[in-house]
Amino acid sequence: MFDTLLRHCNLPDGRTDIDIGITGGRIAAVAPHLPGPAGEEIDAGGQLVSPPFVDAHFHMDSTLSYGLPRVNQSGTLLEGIALWGELKPLLVQEAIVERALAYCDWAVAKGLLAIRSHVDVCDPRLLATEALLHVRERVKPYLDLQLVAFPQDGVLRAPGALDNLRRALDMGVDVVGGIPHFERTMADGAASVRLLCEEAASRGLRVDMHCDESDDPLSRHIETLASESVRLGLQGRVTGSHLTSMHSMDNYYVSKLLPLMREAGVAAIANPLINITLQGRHDTYPKRRGMTRVPELLAAGIPVAFGHDCVMDPWYGLGSGDMLEVAHMGLHVAQMTGQDGIRACFQAVTATPAAILGLDGYGLEPGCRADLVLLQAADPVEAIRLRATRLLVMRAGKVIARTAPATATLSLPERPGEVDFRLHRKKV
């Protein structure tokens, strides 16, 4: 007998009317018409049951700090970095913890149960690092928080940054970060990539760098990142975040770069909401989109995830932890509006980032941890279109969040009743 039985589920892979049996916090069986009774039965009613959303790129040390100490007037990346520099000396640990926990509440309500967050390690007090290590433990029962040691001001450019980064890793930060395009020269940027990859290799850690986050077609640190991955045997453990310069690169160069990334086992993370907002700021018209080449990366066999990057911080004043909003923007910017493209964008906020983070027991196979989201939608395409309500969120077989279904009732005399936003086509 199962502890819990979810009846009549549609799955992201297209299977319909499937039952999911859960025992001891893990998925025990996935098949049509599983035998009951169970401790509890939940009728999914032909709606989508997905593994939880995963955000592969976030900044939890700055989230929900919008307006502190002032608002970003130009809306640019560089004013955002300067503003963060003004805020850093004013930060206190309890406030960072409080804001991070509040964001995790939003995340859980939206079915987002795993987040890779960069944490700025340039402050010698390592205040934010300590705060987020504390938050990582606090949320562990319900959310996987993976931390990246991120030298925001440049590991070579900022005095003491390498030492601080090493201290943060000693304290238990999970992943090595970097920002080569923010170093003073291309040569320094390449040197920083080598240095940081060696640090990761010697510690057996993964790498995730902010890489080429600019519109400069000659910003090519991704090439160094890929070749260092091969040299140090880090294949499958290295990620390039943003890669926005690829949008502006020469096509011939990209035709060489993509196979190199594929051979090096380097994954890519685009951050559609932020890339479309921050890039192209030096352009008049035509104005570049500034997101990396998502369909081309996917076609070359390179895993691509979408990250939220920022929610209400010095760089971005919007957002609510909704990865369907991220996928929705991503498919528009990348022009991935075909059915396969939209499904790939759903993957980019679920299974692909789970693989990039190396999450254990993620998925809907028997044996996986019973982490699930029931959405008010029939399939992944409808989920993105409607930014569907998360009716129920489950962690290890226990319901941890519920949201009432979104409905609207018309009081038009000619057409009274509930509005149904699904497409019911009866005639051509």
Can you give the binding site for Zn ion, defined by CB under 5 A? 309
Measured from the CB atom, the residue of 199 and 208 that comes closer to Zn ion is 208
Measured from the CB atom, the residue of 309 and 371 that comes closer to Zn ion is 309
Q: Name the minimum Å distance from CB 107 to Zn ion.
A: 17
Question: Which pair of tokens denotes residue 160?
Answer: 């003491």
Measured from the CB atom, the residue of 84 and 346 that comes closer to Zn ion is 84
Residue of 213, 228, 325, 382 marked catalytic: 213
**Integer CA distances (angstroms), 118 to 44, 297, 386, in order:** 36, 23, 30
Is 26:397 a contact under the CB 8 Å cutoff? yes
DSSP element (H, E) containing 253: helix 251-263
- The b-or-e profile of 219-239 (16+ CB within 10 A means b, else e) is bbbbbbbbbbbeebebeebbb
Q: Name the minimum Å distance from CB 59 to Zn ion.
A: 6
Q: Name the minimum Å distance from CB 82 to Zn ion.
A: 16
Measured from the CB atom, the residue of 103 and 142 that comes closer to Zn ion is 103
Coil vs helix vs strand at 51: coil
Measured from the CB atom, the residue of 144 and 309 that comes closer to Zn ion is 309
**Count of helices and strands (H, E) across the chain:** 14, 17
Is 267:261 a contact under the CB 8 Å cutoff? no
Which amino acid does the sequence have at 344? A
Largest CA distance in the chain: 72
Q: Name the minimum Å distance from CB 363 to Zn ion.
A: 26
Axis crossing angle, helix 221-231 with helix 251-263, rounded to the nearest 10: 20
Q: Name the minimum Å distance from CB 233 to Zn ion.
A: 26
Q: Name the minimum Å distance from CB 307 to Zn ion.
A: 7
Is 239:267 a contact under the CB 8 Å cutoff? yes
DSSP element (H, E) containing 247: helix 245-248
155 vs 193: CA distance, rounded Å: 10
Q: Which residues contact 266 (CB under 8 A, 6 or more apart)?
A: 222, 225, 226, 229, 238, 239, 240, 302
DSSP state at residue 88: G
Question: Nearest-CB residue to Zn ion?
Answer: 309
Cis upstream peptide for 89 (omega within 30°)? no
CA-based nearest residue to 13, from 58, 50, 62: 50
Q: Name the minimum Å distance from CB 317 to Zn ion.
A: 16
Is 52:114 a contact under the CB 8 Å cutoff? yes
Measured from the CB atom, the residue of 12 and 80 that comes closer to Zn ion is 80
Active site residue 79: no
Measured from the CB atom, the residue of 309 and 325 that comes closer to Zn ion is 309
Q: Name the minimum Å distance from CB 3 to Zn ion.
A: 39
Q: How buried is residue 170: exposed, middle or buried, by Cβ count under 10 Å (0-12/13-18/19+)?
A: exposed
Question: Which pair of tokens denotes residue 155?
Answer: 């590991």
Q: Which residues contact 387 (CB under 8 A, 6 or more apart)?
A: 322, 324, 325, 328
Measured from the CB atom, the residue of 7 and 118 that comes closer to Zn ion is 118
Any idea which residues carry the catalytic annotation?
Answer: 213
